[in-house]
């Protein structure tokens, strides 16, 4: 038989016609059913993972001819007539098995040869031995199908490279690219280490609303949704800040949250519309103490996850060992551009001198945005080693407390590693009347129809009037930290299902 007729009459929800290989696999499925074999049996059995079987054999824990039963996905097949080698892969790794016709019999051997495909999940049982070339191998006595795969696997050597397919069908990426699987294991380790670090220091993990009637705590455009029964528009949160600080009013002294923020903005190598944030708030601390905790926390995580505080990011050697470099924003900008922004206290004069220096700021940018432009364009890309940039202009930091000796600046820092902003922190503003003025100021800065204009959170002001302890707050992008610790240049490589435009 050269090629079976390429027709399939079964109804399908997929719009694409079946490929030849898919038709062949469905025919095998039918053949199995006719033989009375369930291609999707309800239960599987295993005595060892692949890794456990290998260790058990190496340590002599398996008696002569003692059978093990392993499960996994069929990843490679080498048929040599009346005997064959193949590899299965489970969550612990790969292991080879050997199957001989004279051991399993004609019927089983033909089942293996004709009915199984790469990608199928199977169960194999038999004693473990070492081949002539030294590989620990299961000598199969019984083999069973656990789940038939109806789509062919990508190239066994080159894997799946097409970036769009990797993101849209991440499960395929994960099944054939082990280094991708490793990234998300490491991501979980990072989050676990952060939790452990904060838990050990008495921080309480809390959960605050994702659906919020008023958004705030950051400068970003929100996603809007709607509650039908309440007939109420709601916003997906852009930060946790205002809710977490309410908890300090309530009496908790150390709180943190790890969760998702949503920002309705541009997508780039370091921006995804939804991303994971860590924020903590610490009563009676200031931004100096938060800085200490930050460098301690990040180096702890690196030590826990990588076993070292030195790493390579995109070709640069980075040393996370504290203490980190500290420089004021004003000095950093002066160092890189020669511009001392305090000499140009209005948007007009600052924009003018920036243009003289070759910058092209937005025409209607506020003074604070101009300073931020200088930071982002002239300073940030050079901050490869971990660096705290301190003391931001007051008018771009409406939730931060003024410096006692300089009311034009606030006690705020951002920290940068590998040329990326990793986090933002400040001595939190806890003066309810000052806070109210800041909110009113922000409202004046933006026209009401401006999408960046922020609604006034009156309940937050009310909370502060009950008394909020002085405190230091902190926010950090976990996706970016994961990029750093896995040496990835795109945030999409550290998010399992990154946002992509719909097709068609």
Partner RNA sequence: GGGCCCAUAGCUCAAUUGGCAGAGCAGCGGCCUUUUAAGCCGCGGGUUGCAGGUUCGAUUCCUGCUGGGCUCACCA
d(CA 360, CA 370): 10
Q: DSSP per residue over 159-203, as a string?
A: B---HHHHHHTHHHHHHH-HHHHHHHHHHHHHHHHHHHHHHHTTP
Site for RNA in 379-398 (CB under 7 A): 396-398
- Nearest-angstrom CA–CA distance, 327 and 375: 12
> How near is the Cβ of 487 to RNA at its closest, in Å?
14
Please count the residues of this chain forming the interface with RNA, following the rule CB under 7 A.
Answer: 85
Distance CA 423, CA 324 (A): 14
Stretch that binds RNA, among 30-38, 179-187, 214-222, 329-337 (CB under 7 A): 214-222
- Pick one of 52, 92, 135, 496: the residue that binds RNA (CB under 7 A): 135
**Quick one: which of 96, 276, 294, 309 contacts RNA (CB under 7 A)?**
96
Answer for which of 106, 205, 233, 265 binds RNA (CB under 7 A) is 265
Nearest-angstrom CA–CA distance, 244 and 275: 18
Distance of closest approach, residue 386 Cβ to RNA, in angstroms: 20
Q: How far is the CB of 259 from RNA (least distance, A)?
A: 18
Q: How far is the CB of 131 from RNA (least distance, A)?
A: 3
Nearest to 424 by CA among 398, 450, 456: 398
Rounded distance, CA 278 to CA 497, Å?
Answer: 20
Q: Which stretch binds RNA (CB under 7 A): 113-121, 310-318, 325-333, 348-356?
A: 113-121
Is there binding between residue 456 and RNA (CB under 7 A)?
no
152 is an interface residue for RNA by CB under 7 A: yes
Interface residue with RNA among 51, 118, 306, 456 (CB under 7 A) is 118
For residue 348, count other CB atoms closer than 10 A to its CB.
Answer: 9
CB of 230 to RNA, least distance (A): 26
In whole angstroms, what is the distance from residue 327 CA to residue 306 CA?
Answer: 28
**Binding to RNA by residue 45, rule CB under 7 A?**
no
> What pairing do the DSSP bridges indicate for beta strands 387-393 and 325-328?
parallel
- What single string gives the DSSP state of each residue in 471-484? EEEEEEEHHHHHHH
Q: Is 226 in the site for RNA (CB under 7 A)?
A: no
384, 320 Cβ separation under 8 angstroms = no
Which one among 7, 34, 133, 231 touches RNA, defined by CB under 7 A? 133
Contact positions with RNA (CB under 7 A) in 324-363 = 360-362
Residue 175 vs 255, nearer CB to RNA: 175
Q: How far is the CB of 116 from RNA (least distance, A)?
A: 9
Under the criterion CB under 7 A, does residue 473 sit at the interface with RNA? no
Smallest gap from residue 467 Cβ to RNA (A): 22
- Pick the closer one to RNA by CB: 151 or 334: 151
Annotate 391-418 with DSSP letters as a single string. Answer: EEEGGG-TTBPEETTEEEEEEEEEEEET
- Do the strands 204-205 and 121-130 form a parallel or antiparallel pair, or are they unpaired? unpaired
Exposure of 378 by Cβ count < 10 A (0-12 exposed, 13-18 middle, 19+ buried)?
buried
The answer to whether 430 touches 470, Cβ cutoff 8 Å, is: yes
What residues numbered 266-305 form the site for RNA, per CB under 7 A?
A: 266, 268-269, 271
Check if the beta carbon of residue 123 is closer than 8 Å to that of residue 87. no
* Binder of RNA out of 85, 184, 223, 252 (CB under 7 A): 85
Alpha carbon separation from 275 to 151, 376, 415, 416, 437 (Å, rounded) = 32, 20, 18, 18, 31
Q: Does 129 bind RNA (CB under 7 A)?
A: yes
| Residue 504 binds RNA (CB under 7 A) | yes
User: Given the rule CB under 7 A, which of 33-41, 50-58, 73-81, 275-283 is the region that contacts RNA?
Assistant: 73-81
* Residue from the set 8, 12, 21, 310 that interacts with RNA by CB under 7 A: 21
**For 111, which DSSP code?**
I
Q: Which span sits near RNA by CB under 7 A: 30-38, 158-166, 227-235, 285-293?
A: 158-166
Q: Please give the Cα distance from 365 to 478 (Å, whole number).
A: 29
Q: Could you give the CA distance from residue 384 to residue 72 in angstroms, rounded to a whole number?
A: 42
Other Cβ atoms less than 10 A from the Cβ of 461: the count is: 15
Exposed/middle/buried for residue 457 (C-beta within 10 Å: 0-12, 13-18, 19+) = buried
**Residue 83 in the binding site for RNA (CB under 7 A):** yes
Applying CB under 7 A, does 79 fall inside the site for RNA?
Answer: yes
Piece of 184-192, 218-226, 244-252, 401-409 that binds RNA (CB under 7 A): 218-226
* Between 32 and 399, CB nearer to RNA: 399
CB of 365 to RNA, least distance (A): 6
The residue among 77 and 210 lying less far from RNA, judged by its C-beta, is 77
Q: Is 39 in the site for RNA (CB under 7 A)?
A: no
Here's the x/- map for RNA, 407-446, by CB under 7 A: it reads as: -----------------------------------x----
Q: Which is nearer to RNA, 226 or 444 (CB)?
A: 444
> Would you report the helix, strand and coil content of the chain in percent, each value rounded to 5?
35, 25, 40
Give, in order, the Cα–Cα distances in Å from 422 to each of 108, 111, 403.
Answer: 57, 55, 23
Q: Which is nearer to RNA, 164 or 405 (CB)?
A: 164
Please identify, using beta-carbon distances, which residue of 253 and 431 lies nearer to RNA. 431
């Amino acid at each position: 038989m050269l090629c079976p007729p390429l027709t399939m009459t079964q109804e399908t929800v997929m719009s694409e016609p079946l490929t030849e290989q898919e038709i062949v696999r469905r025919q095998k499925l039918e053949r199995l059913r006719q033989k009375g074999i369930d291609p999707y049996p309800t239960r599987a059995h295993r005595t060892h993972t692949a890794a456990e079987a290998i260790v058990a054999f190496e340590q002599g824990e398996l008696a002569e001819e003692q059978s093990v039963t392993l499960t996994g996905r069929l990843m490679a097949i080498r048929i040599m007539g009346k005997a064959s080698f193949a590899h299965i892969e489970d969550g612990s790794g790969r292991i080879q098995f050997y199957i001989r016709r004279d051991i399993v019999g004609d019927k089983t051997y033909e089942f293996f040869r004709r009915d199984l495909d790469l990608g199928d999940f199977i169960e194999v049982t038999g004693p473990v031995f070492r081949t002539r070339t030294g590989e620990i191998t299961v000598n199969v006595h019984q083999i069973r199908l656990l789940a038939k795969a109806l789509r062919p696997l990508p190239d066994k050597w080159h894997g799946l490279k097409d970036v769009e397919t990797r993101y849209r069908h991440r499960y395929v990426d994960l099944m054939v690219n082990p280094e991708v699987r490793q990234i998300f294991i490491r991501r979980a380790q990072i989050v676990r280490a952060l939790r452990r670090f904060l838990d050990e220091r008495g921080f309480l993990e809390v959960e605050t609303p994702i659906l919020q009637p008023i958004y705030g705590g950051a400068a970003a455009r929100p996603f809007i949704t709607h509650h039908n029964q309440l007939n109420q528009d709601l916003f997906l949160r852009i930060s946790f800040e205002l809710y977490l600080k309410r908890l300090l009013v309530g009496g908790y002294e150390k709180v943190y949250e790890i969760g998702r923020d949503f920002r309705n903005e541009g997508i780039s190598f370091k921006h995804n519309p939804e991303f994971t944030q860590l924020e903590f708030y610490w009563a009676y601390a200031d931004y100096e103490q938060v800085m200490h905790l930050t460098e301690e926390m990040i180096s702890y995580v690196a030590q826990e996850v990588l076993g070292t505080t030195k790493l390579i990011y995109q070709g640069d050697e980075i040393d996370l060992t504290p203490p980190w470099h500290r420089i004021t924003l004003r000095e950093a900008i002066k160092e890189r551009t020669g511009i001392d922004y305090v000499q140009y206290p209005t948007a007009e004069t600052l924009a003018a001198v920036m243009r003289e220096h070759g910058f092209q700021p937005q025409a209607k940018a506020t003074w604070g945005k101009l300073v931020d432009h200088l930071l982002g364009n002239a300073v940030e890309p050079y901050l490869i080693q971990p660096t705290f940039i301190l003391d931001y202009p007051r008018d771009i930091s409406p939730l931060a407390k003024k410096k006692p000796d300089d009311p034009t600046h606030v006690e705020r820092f951002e920290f940068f590693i590998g040329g990326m902003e990793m986090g933002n922190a400040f001595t939190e503003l806890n003066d309810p009347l000052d806070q109210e003025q800041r909110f009113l100021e922000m409202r004046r800065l933006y026209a009401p129809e401006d999408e960046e204009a922020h609604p006034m959170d009156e309940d937050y002001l009310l909370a502060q009037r009950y008394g909020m302890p002085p405190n230091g707050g902190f926010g950090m992008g976990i996706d970016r930290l994961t990029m750093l610790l896995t040496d990835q240049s795109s945030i999409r490589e550290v998010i399992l299902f990154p946002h992509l435009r719909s097709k068609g």
